[in-house]
Amino acid sequence: MTEPVVEMRGISIEFPGVKALDGVDFRLFPGEVHSLMGENGAGKSTLIKALTGVYPIDAGEIRIAGEIRRLNGTADARNAGIATVYQEVNLCANLSIGENVMLGQEPRSALGIRWKALHAAAHAALERLGLGALDPRAPLSSLSLAVQQLVAIARAVQRESKVLILDEPTSSLDANEVANLFRVIRRLRDEGVAILFVSHFLDQVYAISDRMTILRNGRYEGEFLTKDLDRTALISTMIGKDADALRSIAARRARHDGEPQVVLSATDLGRKGSIAPTDVDLHRGEVVGLAGLLGSGRTELARLLYGADRADTGSIIRAGKRADLRSPRAAMRSRIAYSSENRRDEGIIRDLTVRENLILGLQTKRGWARPIPRREQDELVQKYIGELGIRPADPERPIKQLSGGNQQKVLLGRWLATQPEILILDEPTRGIDIGAKAEIQGAVAALAERGVTVVFISSELEEVVRLSDRILVLKDRRKIAELVNGEHVTADTIVAVIAEDAATAHEETEA
Amino acid sequence: MKQFLQHRAATLPTIGAVVIFVAMIAYGEIAYGRILQFSTLSNLLINNAHLVILAVGLTFVIVTGGIDLSVGAVIAFTSVTGVLLANAGWNPWLVMVLMVVIGGAFGLASGILVEYFGVQPFIATLAMMFLARGLASTLSTNPERLADDSPIRLIAAEWKLVDGPKVNDLILTPGVLIAAIVVLGAWFVLHRTRLGRTVYAIGGSEPSALLMGLPVWRTKVWVYVISGTLAGVAAVVYTARLGIAQNITGIGWELDAIAAVVIGGTLLTGGVGYVAGSVVGALVLGLMIVLITRDGKIPPEMTTIITGGIVLVFVLLQRGLSVVRRNP
């Protein structure tokens, strides 16, 4: 085998109170796609940041192309031929495509930047990725996010990088865009670039990577050839326990009995441009899944139920009385809680601590004039940290230092603290790792058993099917079906329902 | 059309400023006469050269998404210092250089506060504004008159290029020439150097610029140094023309300059803007005063109200365009 282009040995990084990485080894060969796997908080980002010079390492050594290097700052890493493309597109939307590719590397003469040469060089870099059709003079803002991401890769490889790090590059892409990205990745791999790929989507990891390194709790768990490691083995190595945990949830949900008690009944609930008039009944202790493709109206329906948007039509009967949910506060008063899909902007408040984030919901419900006593706060926080398994279990840590999955658990705790009877969770498991996912799913199932009604929205149909008692299928901003869950219902059933509806809609237009 | 708007949205407000400027000239010519002639246009340039220079400096700062409130006060301090030193017998050329350097030093201080101490640009330059104003007042609270034969006044020497009838002369001064050089230099820096492109990148997204490995910190300090230095240059040009320096000179000029930049199409949130737009913006403000004076019936107090109205219209226009840009 050839020499590794990156070899990290015994890397340790410590933050106050936490050992983020503990003696981790990692190697990366030219011409391979290597996935870094692990739960959130396992140390993947920390390892990447060590390799990109963002964090200094406390112990261990980093060899690049055989030479020991100390990376102090991102500039060092870049000069060593390591380029990174982050989850969010880090380009300047106000500049042209070509400029974004070439910023900091502009060809110059005595008369300043040579724009023609710049655009030609940018075109060449784009061409290399098969993006020759893009006009380097057009503004970056004219491109979709997915293409902007490819432009970011063009920028990264324009400098003859030997190592390309892709950190969650597919999290906001659809299937076609992912295929496009993979074509670009394979092209670069065949040119001998070493690619470090990080993603939560197991399918994608298996589709693209040649090898993987697994981390858990900041420790090295091993390096495997992708073809030698099946998914079950991968998952149990990642979470260090049996993947059967996931299955038992489904089993628990299967038991369901008693006379259904309607807690909320919406008739003809709709809002122009967001969702067509829809009937929804929610029963006590039931998990209702909202399934549908992105943009099918799942979030829109949830927002109407919560009063975040005002309905134009229809009415809501809540606990036998007509309810006028004009605002989130009104919904909270009738004990409905909504956790947004947009965790970062509408959920957590980054600079506040876990405790402060957790009590926010309850405080809002009580009103600002009645502050929650500190002792009660601490009790609440301790309770939910324990119940939901929030890690690290430190209430005074700013929430931004937690991984996505743990942030989501704090948000869940925030709404649970308000003791809702109806809890709407919009994409609570998006972008979080499989272990945290299982824990959140477990929490949802436990809640339903205690009599809370949960409206569960997720893009992952398997997850909806696993958890829900009843599934509302949405498409093109209307409800097209309502399925009672059971043996016969699978993700494929839902896909079939959506597809059939498309067929009928097509026939209707033809007729 | 929509695509055109998206591709050209950055230049539209600037084009709008040019259209307004031309419309104002046309209106003035029709309503009052004697606008579109050498003497009026020469005076417009001569009287507003300092504002043009200030607006160019602020364009750098505002394109990065920052703000510089200190420039008016920096003019007061540097011009009082300059006149006092010149009258005390210092070499007038050295004095002028010193004025520019002092301006740059204030800018450097603002830049260091902003970049290395993490102070908000608004607060950092506000502090510099009070400091410079206070220092100017400790030097003198009286109008300091520059000797009529001081070489500094050469900056305002009038070169008659065309000797028209009825004093309709085309006149230039070295001050106007300096403003023109500043404008050209600024254009070169912003559009043809890496420093300039980094200025735009920072305005577009500072975190992105950092991750792209651009010298963000250095550049942000530089823009304040440029703004301060150009405030010093503006002080030289203005003092030479007026022949008097006072501690209350330049109150509110930072706001005039910001208004000029905004009218010229630069987004206050950064990332978008042109030097040429700021020049036109400054001239729009200057021309407005000429028109109000000519009209005679508009009370002079209306000047600020009209300025406010124009700025508002332009900001609303920019809002509208950025909505078009965001929702393709």
Contact A296, A494 (CB under 8 A): no
| A453-457 vs A287-291, strand pairing mode | parallel
Provide CB contacts within 8 A for B230, sequence distance 6+.
Answer: B53, B54, B56, B57, B71, B103, B182
Which residues in chain A have their CB less than 8 angstroms from residue B206's CB? Answer: none
Nearest to A86 by CA among A171, A187, A162, A181: A171
pLDDT of A176 over the 50 cut: yes
Q: What is the mean pLDDT of residues B97-102?
A: 96
Q: Which of B201, B325, B328 is facing A103, going by the closest CB pair?
A: B201
pLDDT for res B107: 96
Query: Which band of pLDDT confidence, cut at 50, 70 and 90, is reported for residue A245?
Result: low
A65 to each of A7, A191, A194, how far by Cα in Å?
8, 17, 11
C-alpha to C-alpha distance for A82 and A162, rounded to whole angstroms = 6
What are the φ/ψ torsions at residue A220 (nearest 5 degrees)?
A: -80, 125
Tokens describing residue A381: 């926080």
**Hey, is the C-beta of B269 within 8 angstroms of any chain A C-beta?**
no
Confidence of residue B155 (pLDDT cuts 50, 70, 90): confident
pLDDT confidence band for A510 (50 / 70 / 90): very low
Residue A500, classed as helix, strand or coil, is: helix
Judge whether A245 is closer than 8 Å to chain B, CB to CB.
no
Residues of A in contact with B198 (CB under 8 A): 103-104
- Which of B208, B218, B272, B321 to mutate to test binding with chain A, by most A CBs within 10 Å of its CB? B208
Supply A245's token pair: 């945990």
Q: Is B213 on the interface with A (CB under 8 A)?
A: yes
Confidence of residue B177 (pLDDT cuts 50, 70, 90): very high
Q: How far is A225 from chain B (nearest CA, A)?
A: 32
- Which has more confidence, A116 or A477? A116
Confidence (pLDDT) at B235: 95
DSSP line for A68-130 = EE---SHHHHHHTTEEEE-SS--S-TTSBHHHHHHTT---EETTEE-HHHHHHHHHHHHHHTT
Q: Which CATH class is domain A252-335+420-511?
A: alpha beta
Task: Give per-residue pLDDT as tens, A115-161.
Answer: 999 999 999 999 888 888 889 999 898 888 888 888 988 888 887 78
Residues of B in contact with A104 (CB under 8 A): 194, 198, 212-214
**Interchain CB contact of A91 with B (< 8 Å):** yes
From residue A2, alpha-carbon distances to A27, A64, A87, A363, B89 in Å are: 12, 14, 30, 60, 76
CATH of A6-245, one of 3.90.1150.10, 1.10.3720.10, 1.25.40.10, 3.40.50.300: 3.40.50.300
- Strand order of the β-sheet with A453-457 is A336-339, A422-426, A453-457, A287-291, A470-475, A478-484
The answer to whether residue B327 scores a pLDDT higher than 70 is no
Q: Are strands A211-216 and A33-37 parallel, antiparallel or unpaired?
A: parallel
CB environment A35-72: b (16+ within 10 A), e (fewer): bbbbbbbbbbbbbbbbbbbbbebeebebbbeeeebebe
Domain count, chain B: 1
Which of 132-151 (A) contact B at CB < 8 A? 138-139, 141-142
Residue B117 pLDDT class (50, 70, 90 cuts): very high
Give the DSSP H or E segment for A509: helix A491-510
Spell out a b/e string for B131-166, using b for 16 or more CB atoms within 10 Å of the CB, else e. Answer: bbbebbeebeeeebebeeebebbebbeeeeeeeeee
Higher pLDDT among residues A323 and B179, named by residue: B179
All residues at 6 or more sequence positions from B115 whose CB lies less than 8 Å from its CB, including other chains: B217, B220, B221
Helix (H) or strand (E) holding A424: strand A422-426
Q: Does the beta carbon of B31 lie under 8 angstroms from any beta carbon of chain A?
A: no
DSSP string of B102-161, one letter each residue = HHHHHHHHHHHHHHHS---HHHHHHHHHHHHHHHHHHH-SSPEEPPTT-GGGGGG--EEE
Task: Say if B28 falls within a structural domain.
Answer: yes
| Mean pLDDT of the B186-194 span | 94
Judged by CB atoms closer than 8 Å, whether chains meet at A104 and B212 is answered as yes
- Residue A267 exposure: Cα atoms within 13 Å on the Cβ side: 5
Nearest chain B residue to A75, by CA: B213
CB–CB contact B201 A78 (8 Å):
no
Each residue of A397-407: pLDDT tens digit? 888 888 888 88
Rounded to whole angstroms, the Cα distance separating B264 from B281 reads: 5
Q: Quick one: which of B112, B140, B95 has its CA closest to B235?
A: B95
- How confident is the prediction for chain A on average, in pLDDT? 84
Distance CA B117, CA B124 (A): 10
> Region A315-335: what's the mean pLDDT?
85
A440, A507, A424: which is closest to A472 by C-alpha? A424
Query: B-chain residues within 8 Å CB-CB of A74?
Result: 211, 213
Residue A462: pLDDT band by 50, 70, 90 thresholds?
confident
**For tokens 């809540």, what's the residue?**
A318
Distance CA A231, CA A203 (A): 9
Backbone angles phi, psi at A83, to 5 degrees: -120, 145
Tell me if B184 is assigned to some domain. yes
Q: How many Å is the Cα radius of gyration of chain A?
A: 25
Query: B22 — contact with chain A (CB < 8 Å)?
Result: no
Q: Which residues are CB-contacts of A472 (< 8 A; sequence separation ≥ 6)?
A: A280, A288, A289, A290, A291, A301, A479, A481, A482
Q: Is A117 an interface residue toward B (CB < 8 Å)?
A: no
- The answer to which of B45-59, B255-269, B277-291, B295-309 has the lowest mean pLDDT is B295-309
| Cα A388 to Cα A109, A450, A493, B144, distances in angstroms | 61, 15, 32, 74
- Min Cα distance B99 → chain A (Å) is 29
Is pLDDT of A248 > 70? no
A119 touches chain B (CB under 8 A): no
Structure tokens at A251: 């089993």
Contact with chain A for residue B197, Cβ under 8 A: yes
User: Is residue A296 over pLDDT 60?
Assistant: yes
**CB–CB of B194 and A113 under 8 A?**
yes
Q: Beta-strand (E) ranges in A274-409?
A: 275-283, 287-291, 313-318, 321-323, 336-339
Chain A and chain B share a number of CB contacts under 8 A equal to 71
On whether residue B4 sits in a domain, the answer given is no
φ/ψ (deg, to 5) at B114: -65, -50
User: What CA–CA distance (Å, rounded) separates A102 from A121?
Assistant: 8
Q: What DSSP line would sit under B184-203, residue for residue?
A: HHHHHHHHHSHHHHHHHHHH
What values do phi and psi take at A82, rounded to 5? -105, 120
> Across the interface, which of A112, A138, A142 has its CB nearest the CB of B192?
A112
pLDDT at A74 over 80: no
Query: What whole-number distance in Å separates Cα of residue A22 and Cα of residue A11?
Result: 6
Reported ipTM: the value is 0.84
pLDDT at B246: 92
Res B328: pLDDT = 43
* A contacts of B188 (beta carbons < 8 Å): 112
For residue A350, list chain B residues with Cβ-Cβ distance below 8 A.
Answer: none
Residues of B in contact with A103 (CB under 8 A): 197-198, 201, 209, 212, 214
Put simply, whether B192 touches A (Cβ < 8 Å) is yes
Q: Can you tell me whether residue A290 is helix, strand or coil?
A: strand
Residue B281, chain A, CB below 8 Å: the answer is no
Give ∠ CA B220-B57-A108 in degrees, rounded to 5. Answer: 65
Best residue in B4, B8, B205, B267 for a mutation probing chain A (most A CBs within 10 Å): B205
Residue numbers of the domain that contains B116: 17-322
Query: Beta strands of A333-421 (E only): which ranges?
Result: 336-339
Interface probe, candidates B206, B211, B274, B318, chain A, greatest A C-beta count within 10 A: B211
Residue spans per domain, chain A: 6-245, 252-335+420-511, 345-419
Q: Is residue B86 pLDDT above 90, yes or no?
A: yes
Q: Is A163 helix (H, G, I), strand (E, B) or coil?
A: strand
Q: Residue B123 belongs to a domain with what CATH number?
A: 1.10.3470
Report the distance separating Cα A312 and Cα A274, nearest Å.
10
Q: Give the DSSP H or E segment for A62.
A: strand A59-64
Distance CA A333, CA A307 (A): 11
B191 Cα to chain A: minimum distance (Å): 8
B38 touches chain A (CB under 8 A): no
Q: Which residues of B touch A118 (CB under 8 A)?
A: none
Within chain B, residue ranges assigned H as helices are 2-8, 12-31, 38-63, 71-87, 92-116, 121-139, 174-192, 194-204, 206-211, 216-242, 253-263, 275-295, 302-326
Name the residue among A95, A106, A142 with its Cβ closest to that of B328: A142
Query: Does the CA dihedral A344-A349-A353-A359 come out positive or negative?
Result: negative
Considering only the beta carbons, identify the residue of B6, B188, B201 that sits closest to A92: B201
Question: What letter does residue A344 receive in the DSSP assignment?
Answer: I
Specify which of A221-225, A494-498, B126-130 reaches the highest per-range mean pLDDT.
B126-130
Q: Rg for chain B (alpha carbons), in Å? A: 20
- Binary contact (A155, B212; C-beta < 8 A): yes
Of all residues in chain B, the one with the smallest CA distance to A114 is B192
Calculate the dihedral angle through the C-alpha atoms of B304, B307, B309, B312, rounding to the nearest 10 degrees. -120
The structure tokens listed for A255 are 């038991």
Task: Determine, yes or no, domain membership for B269.
Answer: yes
The separation between CA A80 and the C-alpha centre of its own chain, rounded to angstroms, equals 30
Enumerate residues 6+ apart whose C-beta is below 8 A from A163: A5, A6, A28, A51, A64, A81, A82, A83, A193, A194, A195, A196
pLDDT band at A250 (very low <50, low <70, confident <90, very high): low
Closest of B10, B199, B1, B326 to residue A137, by C-alpha: B10
DSSP for residue A241 = S
Q: Do A113 and B197 touch (CB under 8 A)?
A: yes
pLDDT at residue A211 greater than cutoff 90: yes
State whether A90 and B201 contact (CB < 8 Å): no
Nearest-neighbour CA in chain A from B206: distance (Å): 9
Compute the nearest-CA separation of B203 from chain A (Å): 8
Classify burial at A219, counting beta carbons within 10 Å of its beta carbon; exposed 0-12, middle 13-18, buried 19 or more: middle
